[in-house]
Structure 1
Amino acid sequence: MARYDIRHRDGMARAGVFYGAGEPLSLPAAIDAEERFSDLALLKHSHVPLSAPPAFVEAYLPGYETVVAVHPRSSRTASSGDVVMIGNWHTALAQPRQYIRWLQDLKGRVPPDTVWYAPASALPSGVAFLIFSGLDLFDFTAVDLMTARDLYCTPEGEFPAEEWLAGGGCPCPGCAAGDLGLHNRLALVREIAVSTRFLARGQLREFIERRCRAHAPFVAALRLFDVEYDFTEPSTPIVRTAPFLAHTAESLRRPEVRRFADRVTGRYVPYRTDVAVILPCSARKPYSGSRSHHLLKAAIRDRAHELIMTSPLGLVPRELERLYPAAHYDIPVTGYWDREEREFIAATLAAYLGRHRYRRVLAHVEGGSLDIVADAAARCGTEIECTCRGHPTDAASLDALGAALEGERRKVPDIIRGCVSWQFGADIDTRGLMLKGKWMNQKVVRGKEQLFSLDPATGLLRPTFGGWDLIPEGYRIKIDNFVPKGDVLAPGIVDADPAIREGDEVLITGDLAVATGRAVMGAREMLESSYGVAAKVRKVHKFAPEGP
């Protein structure tokens, strides 16, 4: 039985090994498809246009034995392990809006653990975006056509071969031999390999933001992907260990950015204080490790709730500064806020202040940052007090900040409550709970009982069984009647909370045992896949057998 063993995920992109007819095939890959899928040669030139009417599609969509041909306007679907072929996909990116709609329709009705084959679509300048879109398998038809047109293929585009082939810019065997066809094929293979490495590192999005500049339709499609948040967010991991490089305008619209802001304004529960101070961010992450925030914290002395305004995330409460992506992002600093940044930060701040009504809100920011805070305050009807007297860390500014907080009570930030509410959507009672240990080995305890450990790489809390008892619902996976003796596979899952994303901490429950672990797939993929690890198990508690 054919199967696709997916070993790495990054958004909709996957990398793994396909086991079917012939030798195991590492994906993503480009192959001579007719050698692997022999019946493709029998029905050449039979692809149906993507915009064809449904009746035409149903009448002429070809049927194969080795692959399943699908179409956006056909009801035909596939089974787990099938190779799914989308004919004429090379024409899709000419219509970026349709590209997203067609992909949504096709991905929504085909099982996740299938191999997606896009014939005659892959060029070195576009294959990375196809991989980013969730396509796995390609052929050499497109690059061979470029060879026939005497065009030299690069990740930056296609150029006249007479200008480039002998230019010495490429050390491949094809260029060394003056063989344009070999160069073009090797260029495609190399670009797939590079894309796969970025995928495995969790940085395919950053790579795509660089590569998509070669063609305007790619830029348009990337922006439209981000508009379709409900489509892209479920496949976006909750955390990554790689840096979050927000170096382009498109970075500001990544699903991780909106999800973080939505949780801050919706789920997150601040600790009990009625004074807030809005602070600037810092280049160093987490912010509290920077010199500027060391000075700011010394002036505040826990007398106000510290809210850091920043691009691209909008607003980061101090308790969440070690969570992904707040502790992982890097953004070029120019001192200038563009219109989209201003709008996003102001909207996020207004939503937060509108939901959490503080008695006093201090704005310890200057220039354009102060304008954004004033805009947000006007939107939600909040009065602000400005404490900056120049740069936020100038002595006069720090003195003014300290004086403004004179007489306010000190309250220690409740990191546990803040992180649990953001991560699990639960407002727990943290009385009696303590955060102990140094950063790389911190844990939450109640007396001698450990309830959570802290993942130093991502900032996420990892609940023990006792910790899960504090979280009344959500992030549960229901398994069949077995005791996990290793990782939990997708076929053994009966139900899963729809909120689960790759990287989430989960509680695995069944009639015979309960286990703690981390999700390797999102909820939909868990429920619809017939193969693959769904959750990495950390600890298992087997229930005692019932008496006679």
Structure 2
Amino acid sequence: MDGVRLGLDISARQRHARVFNLGDRKDPCARTPAIILLDDDVNLPENIAPFICSRIDDNLPPSFLIKGRAALCPPFDNFSPEWEFIQGHVYPPSLSDTDGKSNGSITPILSLSLQRMMHDSNIVDIEHPSIIVITDAIQLSSRSREFVEAMLTVRETFPSSLIWCPGLSGPDNIAFLTWLGVDLHDLSRTRQAHAAGALLTSNGPRKINLELEGELTFELQINQWKNEISTIRDSINNFNLRELVEKRILNYPKSVEQLRHHDYLVYERKMKSSARHVSKERILQCNSPLIRTDPIIMEWSNKISKYYTPHKTRQKLLILLPCSARKPYRNSKSHRRFSQDIGNVLATEISVTSPLGLVPRELEELWPASNYDIPVTGHWDAEEKLIVTNALSGILKRVNFELIINHSGFSLGSEFCGINVIETTNDNFSEEIQKAKKELNLENETPKTKRMIEYHTISNWNYGNSNWLDGSKLVGKGPHWKIEKSGKPFARWNHLNSSFSFSKASLPVLAETNTLPFAKIKLPENWNGDVFGPMIVSFDENIRVGDVVLLFDEKDVLIGSGIAQAPAWEWNHGCGRLAKIRHRL
């Protein structure tokens, strides 16, 4: 048996979905999602089907041989790998509590079932396998929560392994399976559909249209795979796989059920796969009600309800505003007009929107509030109303505002949570603001003070504290303020990805105040590159894509910082670049 590992690199990722490059990283011969051929399958190009799996005996449990159809393993001078594995006994998921013996292979191919995951201690702390075969995938998929939980656990435990669910994939569900982290797929369901005279498409099986498509051929079936795999790879590269998944899961109620379970599980696991900072070109499309269970949306609305607290100087007057098509809202014509009417008065401004619920002015530059789009009808359904009122009620439990001026168009009545509400229109908005300013004896604040309060709020939201800002001041001209401390440049706000760009001088203070996530690495000789998996000694489990990560050596000496390219779960023996170096001390 060939014991070498696959040549793997990652060219694109979105949450748990990745595009792996297979083979030589300088000239990969295949990418995922990819097909693994079985006996008697049609011959396909190696760049879409880099593996073939054959049964090698008639024993029970059976043994199989997986061969590379291209040079996939170092030194990339011949076709490789060539691995045998034993499937092991496969118990149905209903017997997962049975402590039976599986006797399946472990490495380089791990034969895995739900029962084995629960009872086989031999698979704990094993060397990362190259391929993981989920042997009971078909049966397990009928138990939605157990299925997505198993896939999530396997994906996050073995970030550099390729996952295969035999017999489960088709052009109609490969997008969703890729979203769960599955990398390899086979043609079993396509062969079944073909035998039944049906074409298995991205929308499910259907009869062929003889007038337009001619006779049903297997080439037509393969074209469905090629088109969908190309679409998925492009979607991951452009960070819009979620939108594609929301379309495809409508093929089957079970898939909708599984996505909802997956969303809640990811949210409960503290969003380990989500990004915190993204480029301004990346847009979260909120075109379907399914987006409301997206962990990104749930995290935002729940944090607003449970944790957001306005600055102590802004706790008399609450002004509710409508959202705008242009993001951040402050750049829109309507919000510039609102700002002129409000002036520099000390008040809390919150925009009402769907599906996020509420977006405070201090946080509107953050993802996803600054990068989402939604069709606007002016109608609020029952669930949207509940999201808004729950979030607002949560804030009002912590802050005793004296008055709410509601200019959002979202009806609250004349009183909400015991606080007087004044509904306004464009005709009387400015007048009511001035009246409230006089009655509540509200003072004004300078633009510089206003921006510093926003920086404190953003830091508390992202990092849990803003202690690093103590003793700092803003210099320069707005809106591109610079943060200075002890006469030295400390940080500035990066409008391109809505994050703080920290100077080298700020790193010791950020370490002392436990502001940023960290990682401990072992330094190669003459190290001048980025951070890769073999260098990792330990890491913060809260790392998200785009985070600034403080880097320490094995003696706990701060040596610099990097920008995370992968979420925390990939830092556990993951492949590819994990962080791009920003500063060296």
Per the normalisation by structure 1, the TM-score is 0.85
Counting only pairs closer than 5 Å after superposition, residues 234-383 of structure 1 correspond to structure 2 as 234-241=272-279, 242-265=282-305, 270-273=310-313, 274-275=315-316, 276-303=318-345, 304-355=347-398, 357-365=399-407, 368-370=410-412, 377-378=416-417, 383=419
* Count of residues in correspondence between the two structures: 515
2:443 is aligned to: 409
Counting only pairs closer than 5 Å after superposition, residues 150-169 of structure 1 correspond to structure 2 as 150-161=197-208, 164-168=209-213
What amino acid sits opposite 1:360 in the alignment? E
Does the 8 Å CA contact 2:565/2:577 hold for their aligned counterparts? yes
Deviations 1:335-358 (A, max 9, x none): 222222222222222222323x24
Counting only pairs closer than 5 Å after superposition, residues 352-501 of structure 1 correspond to structure 2 as 352-355=395-398, 357-365=399-407, 368-370=410-412, 377-378=416-417, 383-386=419-422, 388-389=423-424, 391=425, 394-406=426-438, 407-411=441-445, 412-413=449-450, 414-428=453-467, 429-434=469-474, 436=476, 443-446=482-485, 449-471=488-510, 472-473=513-514, 474-481=516-523, 484-501=527-544
User: Residue 454 of structure 1 aligns to a residue in which SS?
Assistant: strand
Deviations 1:393-441 (A, max 9, x none): x1223322232123410124222212211121112345542164566x6
What amino acid sits opposite 1:460 in the alignment? S
Unaligned runs of 5+ in 2: 40-49, 65-86
What amino acid sits opposite 1:278 in the alignment? L
**Aligned equivalents of 1:506 and 1:369: distance in 2?**
43
What amino acid sits opposite 2:437 in the alignment? L
2:262 is aligned to: 225
1:53 aligns with 2:95: yes
Offset at 1:327?
A: 0.9
Offset at 1:539?
A: 1.4
* Aligned CA distance change for structure 1 residues 166 and 64 (closer, same or farther; 3 Å): farther
1:2 is aligned to: 5
* Aligned CA distance change for structure 1 residues 272 and 327 (closer, same or farther; 3 Å): same
Does the 8 Å CA contact 2:159/2:574 hold for their aligned counterparts? no
User: Residue 190 of structure 2 aligns to a residue in which SS?
Assistant: helix
**Aligned equivalents of 1:54 and 1:198: distance in 2?**
36
- Residue identity over aligned pairs, in percent, reads 23
Offset at 1:128?
A: 0.6
Offset at 1:442?
A: 5.6
Deviations 1:111-142 (A, max 9, x none): 22111012222111111111011100111222
Does the 8 Å CA contact 1:256/1:325 hold for their aligned counterparts? yes
User: Residue 339 of structure 2 aligns to a residue in which SS?
Assistant: helix
Unaligned runs of 5+ in 1: 169-174, 542-548
What amino acid sits opposite 2:288 in the alignment? T
Offset at 1:263?
A: 4.1
User: Residue 213 of structure 1 aligns to a residue in which SS?
Assistant: helix
Does the 8 Å CA contact 1:89/1:118 hold for their aligned counterparts? yes
Does the 8 Å CA contact 1:277/1:307 hold for their aligned counterparts? yes
Does the 8 Å CA contact 1:48/1:87 hold for their aligned counterparts? yes
Does the 8 Å CA contact 1:5/1:18 hold for their aligned counterparts? yes
**Aligned equivalents of 2:567 and 2:338: distance in 1?**
40
Does the 8 Å CA contact 1:15/1:199 hold for their aligned counterparts? yes
Offset at 1:536?
A: 1.0
Does the 8 Å CA contact 1:322/1:458 hold for their aligned counterparts? no
1:203 is aligned to: 240
Deviations 1:353-376 (A, max 9, x none): 323x244342323554425x95xx
Among residues 139, 142, 145, which one is paired with 2:189 in the alignment? 142
**Aligned equivalents of 1:430 and 1:60: distance in 2?**
58
Offset at 1:70?
A: 0.5
Does the 8 Å CA contact 2:549/2:564 hold for their aligned counterparts? yes
* Aligned CA distance change for structure 1 residues 65 and 329 (closer, same or farther; 3 Å): closer
1:30 aligns with 2:35: yes
Counting only pairs closer than 5 Å after superposition, residues 89-108 of structure 1 correspond to structure 2 as 89-107=137-155
**Aligned equivalents of 1:435 and 1:315: distance in 2?**
31
* Aligned CA distance change for structure 1 residues 92 and 516 (closer, same or farther; 3 Å): same
Deviations 1:469-514 (A, max 9, x none): 4431041112225575121112212222222112212111224652
Offset at 1:299?
A: 1.6
What amino acid sits opposite 1:90 in the alignment? I
* Aligned CA distance change for structure 1 residues 260 and 467 (closer, same or farther; 3 Å): farther
Offset at 1:103?
A: 2.4
1:13 aligns with 2:17: yes
Offset at 1:64?
A: 8.0
* Aligned CA distance change for structure 1 residues 329 and 68 (closer, same or farther; 3 Å): same
* Aligned CA distance change for structure 1 residues 452 and 258 (closer, same or farther; 3 Å): farther
Offset at 1:238?
A: 2.0
Deviations 1:201-248 (A, max 9, x none): 111111111221111111111112222222472112223332011111
User: Residue 172 of structure 2 aligns to a residue in which SS?
Assistant: coil
* Aligned CA distance change for structure 1 residues 91 and 240 (closer, same or farther; 3 Å): farther
Offset at 1:188?
A: 1.3
**Aligned equivalents of 1:94 and 1:208: distance in 2?**
19
Structure number with higher helix proportion? 1
Does the 8 Å CA contact 2:108/2:129 hold for their aligned counterparts? no
Between 1:189-198 and 1:505-514, the stretch displaced more is 505-514
2:164 is aligned to: 117
Offset at 1:29?
A: 0.8
Offset at 1:295?
A: 1.8
**Aligned equivalents of 2:384 and 2:579: distance in 1?**
37
